[in-house]
Amino acid sequence: MSTDRFREQLLGFLDRKDHWAWPFFSEGRASKEQFKLHFQQEYAVYVRDFPVLLARIHGHNHPAQVRSMLATNIYEEDTGGLSLGRSHPDLFLAMMDGLGFPAKDFERVRLLPASRAYRSWLDRVSRRRDWLVGAAALTVFVEGSVKDRQELLHPSEPKTPAEIEAHIARHPLVRHYGLSPDSMDLTRAHQMVEAGHRHDAYDMVLGFAVTAAQQQAVLACLKTTLALWLRYRDGIARACGLKKAGS
């Protein structure tokens, strides 16, 4: 299929990366303990090990351009060298500490069944020799969001420090849960580098998935990844005692 049609197919999966339970958290309707459970699962499923998952894909001896894009992403995730000088997992734990959740609470997280299934899938696709499939799952889907369509089709300019601080002031953790902006360096780092990462992710997949077989393999992977992600978020919602409207 054409590049434009393939991009549209990819974005269709990210358009659906939206879960019914998220408003409980984004609107301050969940308790801090419910938020803690959510964050523990997020950390153990992918935040802690995301640089490792990317490094597996980097090791599959793909084209130099792809290695460079992945290496840049790994460098930022594992060192913060393009933003604030601390790894993203460390910045995540600093944010948790600001909420009153010490790092020890994230050392031995027991994964929920659907969380375990999602993480198992991420392990499998990151180890596959077909690097395109792993890159699509990790860089397009896991790092992506429902905002991808807007960023890809209408690229934004790099945010100024003032714009980043305004974004942080509006963040649900600051507005509804009393988190100090001083603890939001993870969000600052994301705001500094994520737009570039989003374009790199799509450039990789769109530029190298050129045969029908490659495109279909990528789309099949994202279909499975989305289904497992939705079940994973359903599992967290159930564990938090949250219920979908009308159920």
Residue 123 lies in a domain: yes
Residue 171 lies in a domain: yes
Identify the CATH number of the domain in which residue 28 sits. 1.20.910.10
Residue 142 lies in a domain: yes
pLDDT tens figures, 32-81:
999 999 999 999 999 999 999 999 999 886 788 888 989 999 999 999 99
Residue 162 lies in a domain: yes
Contact 106, 90 (CB under 8 A): no
Q: What is the pLDDT along the chain (247 residues), one digit of tens a residue?
A: 899 999 999 999 999 999 999 999 899 888 999 999 999 999 999 999 999 999 999 988 678 888 898 999 999 999 999 899 999 999 999 999 999 999 999 999 999 999 999 999 999 999 987 899 999 999 999 999 999 998 888 877 778 899 999 999 999 999 999 999 999 999 999 988 875 668 889 999 999 998 999 999 999 999 999 999 999 999 999 999 998 876 5
Rounded Cα distance between 246 and 4, Å, is: 38
Residue 12 lies in a domain: yes
Residue 159 lies in a domain: yes
Contact 165, 219 (CB under 8 A): no
pLDDT tens figures, 200-213:
899 999 999 989 99
Rounded Cα distance between 98 and 138, Å, is: 28
Q: Give the chain's domain count.
A: 1
Residue 28 lies in a domain: yes
Domain enclosing residue 27, as ranges: 3-239
Residue 246 lies in a domain: no
What sign does the dihedral 165-171-175-181 (CA atoms) show? negative
